[in-house]
Amino acid sequence: MGRVTLQTIADQVGVSRMTVSNAFSRPDQLSTELRERVLATAEKLGYAGPDPAARVLARGTTGAVGVLLTESVGTAFQDPIAAAFFGAVAEELAPTGLAVALLPSVGSAAMIPARDIPMDGALVYACAGDLGAVSFLLRRRLPLVFVDQAPVEGASSVLLDDRPGARAAAQHLLDLGHRHVGILTTGFGLPPGVAPDPAEAGTGYVSRERVAGWMSALGPAGVRVTAVNITDNSEEYAAEGIRTMLALPDRPTAVLCFSDLVAWTVEQVAREQGLRIPEDLSVVGYDDSPVARNAQPQLTTVRQDLAAKGRAAATTLTRAIARSRGEAGAPDGPEHVLVPTELVVRGSTGPAPA
């Protein structure tokens, strides 16, 4: 047999050439049984599929989407929150046949992923709109969906409804009688240590939204608030931050933390200093990651549904791509999705010490 083509496989299966093409490039257009028959015949004949470069030229699409990260790909997969989100995105996109490329936001001058990698659209994951890599995506006029970051004008977004969740966490501490509450949040670019104004603590979209939610309950209650900025969401910086807070002459009796990782670190450092959780210090995390359930005691936290966020991000991106192509049924403009949050009370919070 000579060179195997789409027509060769079509003749073997008894279908059209377009049906064979769809089996490779538009799997959702075929029944599972028919697609499996086509692919089995292709494998038997030693056919790997249409040439990717030729397919891009013919269709004007790449069959891939990007996810722009603030950090390296390796670092992102060490973050359980990011890894769970990526998994949900990939699972939702799988039936569409779209491949997912993870794009670090930094690279060499010769190879900048946001500028150079072919893609039909991208998720911008917790990256500020003025980041250099985002500007490359904007210049390419790709459909974009911003996740955990305020979108630029004309782009869609999928955001956590952080303010109600943070407010519920702060109100929970007020209901337990706490009248001096600490806030430990990320303030990249700010001097680490006690913030002059708690309401202005933190930098970045997510941190600022959570601070606003906490303060919406703490401010009107008239309680004392001590906020400490930490450089990054890591054990090292969280440990520095909580040591600063606990060294104050009049330390807080409860701490609201940017993440479960920060809260877990607070528990470790507090125990090292002889404090009991929650009898001497109540601790609240954020995210309801596995860290929250593995902590001792388990963390009171604000839950985000990572699977729902990932599914929403993937769906919103495919709809944005459809809109850019003028497809029937596509949205008329940018879409903005809010993913709900919920307070989960566990053993790390208790009544304020007498």
What are the structural domains of the chain? 6-59 (1.10.260.40), 64-160+306-340 (3.40.50.2300), 162-304 (3.40.50.2300)
Residue 315 has pLDDT above 60, yes or no: yes
Is residue 108 very low, low, confident or very high in pLDDT (cuts 50, 70, 90)?
A: low
Distances, alpha carbon 141 to alpha carbons 121, 122, 242, in Å: 9, 11, 44
Q: What pLDDT does residue 58 have?
A: 52
Residue 151 has pLDDT above 90, yes or no: no
The mean pLDDT value of the chain amounts to: 90
Residue 56 has pLDDT above 80, yes or no: no
Q: Which residues contact 59 (CB under 8 A, 6 or more apart)?
A: 25
Residue range 324-350, pLDDT digits in tens: 988 888 898 999 999 999 999 999 999
Bigger pLDDT: 247 or 188? 247
Average pLDDT, stretch 61-83? 79
3-state secondary structure the chain: CCCCCHHHHHHHHCCCHHHHHHHHHCHHHCCHHHHHHHHHHHHHCCCCCCCHHHHHHHHCCCCEEEEEECCCHHHHHCCHHHHHHHHHHHHHHHHHCCEEEEEECCCECCECHHHHCCCCCEEEECCCCCCHHHHHHHHCCCCEEEECCCCCCCCEEEEECHHHHHHHHHHHHHHCCCCEEEEEEECCCCCCEECCCHHHCCCCHHHHHHHHHHHHHHHHHCCEEEEEEECCCCHHHHHHHHHHHHCCCCCCCEEEECCHHHHHHHHHHHHHCCCCCCCCCEEECCECCHHHHHCCCCCEEEEECHHHHHHHHHHHHHHHHHHHCCCCCCCCCCCEEEECEEEECCCCCCCCCC
Q: How far apart are CA 101 and CA 92, in angstroms?
A: 15
Q: Provide, rounded to the nearest whole percent, the portion of the chain with pLDDT above 70.
A: 92
Is residue 176 very low, low, confident or very high in pLDDT (cuts 50, 70, 90)?
A: very high
Is residue 129 very low, low, confident or very high in pLDDT (cuts 50, 70, 90)?
A: low
Is residue 241 very low, low, confident or very high in pLDDT (cuts 50, 70, 90)?
A: very high
Look at 127-131, 250-254, 282-286, 302-306 and tell me which has the smallest mean pLDDT.
Answer: 127-131
Q: What pLDDT does residue 51 have?
A: 60
Residue 57 has pLDDT above 50, yes or no: no
Residue 106 has pLDDT above 90, yes or no: no
Residue with tokens 């990007």: 66
Is residue 210 very low, low, confident or very high in pLDDT (cuts 50, 70, 90)?
A: very high
Bigger pLDDT: 58 or 296? 296
Residue 87 has pLDDT above 80, yes or no: yes
Which of 20-24, 231-235, 306-310 shows the highest mean pLDDT? 306-310
Is residue 217 very low, low, confident or very high in pLDDT (cuts 50, 70, 90)?
A: very high
Task: Kindly report the pTM of this predicted structure.
Answer: 0.81
Q: What pLDDT does residue 328 have?
A: 87
Residue 216 has pLDDT above 60, yes or no: yes
The CA R_g of the chain, rounded to the nearest whole Å, is 25
Residue 173 has pLDDT above 90, yes or no: yes
